[in-house]
A and B are shown apart, each in its own frame.
Chain A
Amino acid sequence: MSKLAIAYIDLATREVNVVPVSEDLRRRFLGGRGIAMWILYKTLKAGIPPLDPRNLLIVSTGLLTGTFAIASSRTNISGKSPETGYLGDSSFGGHFGAELRHAGFDHLVISNRSDKPIYLRISDGNIYFHDAQHLENCDTFELQDVIRQELKDDLVQVACIGPAGRKQVRFASVIHGYGGNAAGRTGMGALMGSKNLWAIAVRGRQPLLTHSPEKLMEVVKKHYQIIKSSKGYEATATYGTLIRLNNSRMVGFEGGLNHQFNMMEKGGEELDADYFLKKFEVSKKACFNCPIHCKHVWQIKQRGSKGLHGIGMEYYGAGGFGSQCGSGSWETILEAFDLCNRYGLDASSTSAYVAWVMELYQRGIITREDTGGLPLEWGSREAIIGLIHQIIEGRNLGGILAEGWQEAARKIGKNAGRYMNQIKNLSIEPDDVRAFKAKSLGLATSTRGSDHLRSRYTMEEFHLPSEVSEKITGRPVPQDPGAYEGKAWAVFWSECLCAVTDALGICKFATKWLSPSLLSFAELAELIAVSTGLELTEQQVMKIGERIYNVERLFITREGIRRKDDSVHWRMREPYTHGYLKGTCIDEEKFQKLLTEYYRVHQWDEEGIPPAKTLEGLEIE
């Protein structure tokens, strides 16, 4: 197993301190999100404003990122969130993480602020500081081009911010590549911007070594076959995340017009994955070492001109700018998605903010006077694209939105904040999961704010018989998605799986997070053993996930999160308006009982704070 290092980088003094990752840290947290969360919790003091130089920006690769393990592409970016004020953490795939590990680093812990704009170049064990002032007019794509030209190497992988991050728009993202990869959520781009760090360019030529190469070959071959022969593979490899458009429309949990409805009232027939493939897809693209190739290369074909083209297009952007903003036009969605990537805006939050102010406009809470004359009619291309430009140019309504929804709601007044669909200050995803009780609980309790990548129990949608779910998760989970009982365990199990995959740097698309026939704790334990020599049981691996989740919980409860914040948005307590699940909602009394049960499964107190005894059992000091 290669010995890699944590680089502590002080941007103010330009000092770099490289220390190896200790055996104890590896054993307890593996790497990636696990070690990042531990460093963040131990280093950051409570109450520090997110854009203060004392906040940390941590770039982490997983324990297996850049190795032969299937789908080992992930990189996490973490810190205190400028968007929510609580925990910030977001990850991307692509080829950056592998390159960083091959350059000799597991984690970059970046502190303080540079007095002038810089970018970091990391090459085979060395870290260099480069002036970045000349990049001030570049969008994220142009910026990557310039850096590659400057370094005369097309194999350099770049993670960067664009105009949004430089202006510290609260929901700015970190972009890697040309449209396919973004650490979008929780405003990590704004944090990077606040440090005057505009990009990180990496190139590594050092091979990674493994504990047992022959066994690793065997294990990876087995995992490859498991993934390739799984039912979910064909769907994911064909549609990517866009499959969710079809699922949500079929079952009727497509959020419409800022979650006022669970189905778009009219239009939207084109918002279908098959339609997208037929009309816009050119080819497929994959992240590092991944056979699933879920990313689309797309083009808006226009007679006589080249037309807009790009990479990516995920469900979040499609549902967000689509049904949530009332648009049934792929041309509008793709244009908005492309702009978000080039500007370095989180497509998820941006679409949620646009949908929010469109509802405010519908209700008369804001008028054309507030929008600089822009009519915010549902589905209007001019409104969607116009608002994105306003956000970047810092003018009119967009200028206010750039400060984050809390500040915008305060400035707009008239109870505007009520219509922002959020949990712990992070916008809710475009699909509307109030019919699914484990998923709803997952959104309510997720440590980074409303989120499906911290815990989603996807299998709830498959109506698995209890005996099957017991085989998979260790305890029976009711077949009925609407049941409350047993769902606390389902969420707990999923939280542990998500935390472990993030700590390993493996994509969740390769795991049971997505589909019952994919990888789980047993297979991950195998991978850890042949890669590092660390022999762990399934239960021990799951425990690591629980440990990571508890550290995150400690972080957010230290910042003031309590039981009242582990709540669904009020809209989820209102009935579904359409479809065969019409009338379904979250029953508050039952939900509170479920939340109590969830705390009990976690062994947390009645406010959701992990007590000393629980922490002792998890070896958290």
Chain B
Amino acid sequence: MKTIVVNALKCTGCRLCQMACATSRSHRMLSDMAHLKVLKEDHFGLAVPIACAQCKIAPCQNVCPMGAIRRNEDTGALGVDEARCIGCQMCSMVCPLGMISYHEQVASKCDLCGGEPVCVQFCATGAIRYEDVESVAQFKNQKLAEEQFGLLKKLLFDSI
């Protein structure tokens, strides 16, 4: 299952992802209104994007007294059914990442734009990507292994 994969080392802090999120979803241009958050430390030019992890065991979904948070089986994203939401904010209280906000008295959170997250489409550096976490893990395994292969070759086969 794909999800939003974050690499803060590559984030330039431009907020284009947030503007894309807010504009496409609510037609309101304000980075504060984005589901994705980008926190910054200006002295060192640092920026950290934080995206909803679409938790497999999701506290927001479990705590909701109205059953208003439901998972889309195709994308794995947890979306808010606004008609059911009563704005009790309990989901926001239990979310470990602080990724649930409130607009017009109902909960609002990232639903991966139905499988084509617009924020990712506007990230110029690859700081946020939409990928299968398992394949990211495999990629990392492979990279680590390749370094080891190099060392092993040197140790075992002098001439190569």
Binding site for B on A (CB under 8 A): 66-68, 70, 95, 98, 102, 141, 154, 177-178, 180, 205-210, 213, 216-217, 220-221, 224, 228, 237, 282-293, 295, 297, 309, 311
Contact = CB atoms under 8 A, between A and B. Distances in A.
A3 to B, nearest CB: 14
A297 B45 contact: yes
Given A180-B45, A283-B45, A291-B124, A207 B14 contact: no
Nearest to B9: A283
Interface residues of B, number: 28
B29 A67 contact: yes
Interface in B28-69: 28-33, 40, 42-45
B125 interface: yes
Interface string B97-126: 000000000000000000000000110110
20 contacts: A66-B29, A67-B29, A68-B19, A102-B30, A177-B42, A178-B43, A206-B30, A207-B30, A208-B30, A210-B23, A213-B23, A237-B124, A282-B45, A283-B12, A285-B12, A289-B19, A291-B122, A293-B124, A295-B45, A311-B45
Nearest to B31: A98
B122 A284 contact: no
Contact of B23 (A68, A228, A284, A285): A68
B21 to A, nearest CB: 10
A228 B27 contact: no
B33 A68 contact: no
Nearest to B26: A207
A138 B107 CA distance: 43
Considering residues B14, B23, B24, B30, which has the most beta carbons from chain A within 10 angstroms of its beta carbon? B14
Nearest to B122: A224
Given A213-B27, A291-B14, A293-B12, A207 B125 contact: no
Contacts of A180: 45
B144 to A, nearest CB: 23
Nearest to B32: A205
Given A288-B14, A293-B14, A207 B33 contact: yes
Contacts of A217: 23-24
The 9 closest A-B pairs by CB, nearest first: A291-B124, A207-B28, A207-B30, A286-B14, A286-B12, A213-B27, A297-B45, A293-B12, A285-B45
A241 to B, nearest CB: 16
B16 interface: yes
B14 A210 contact: no
B13 A285 contact: yes
A526 to B, nearest CB: 16
B16 A290 contact: yes
A424 to B, nearest CB: 35
A408 B9 CA distance: 47
Given A205-B32, A209-B29, A287 B20 contact: no
A293 B14 CA distance: 8
A289 B121 contact: no
B29 A68 contact: yes
B77 interface: no
Contacts of A216: 23
Considering residues A177, A293, A295, A309, which has the most beta carbons from chain B within 10 angstroms of its beta carbon? A293
Nearest to B16: A289
A208 B22 CA distance: 10
Interface in B67-100: none
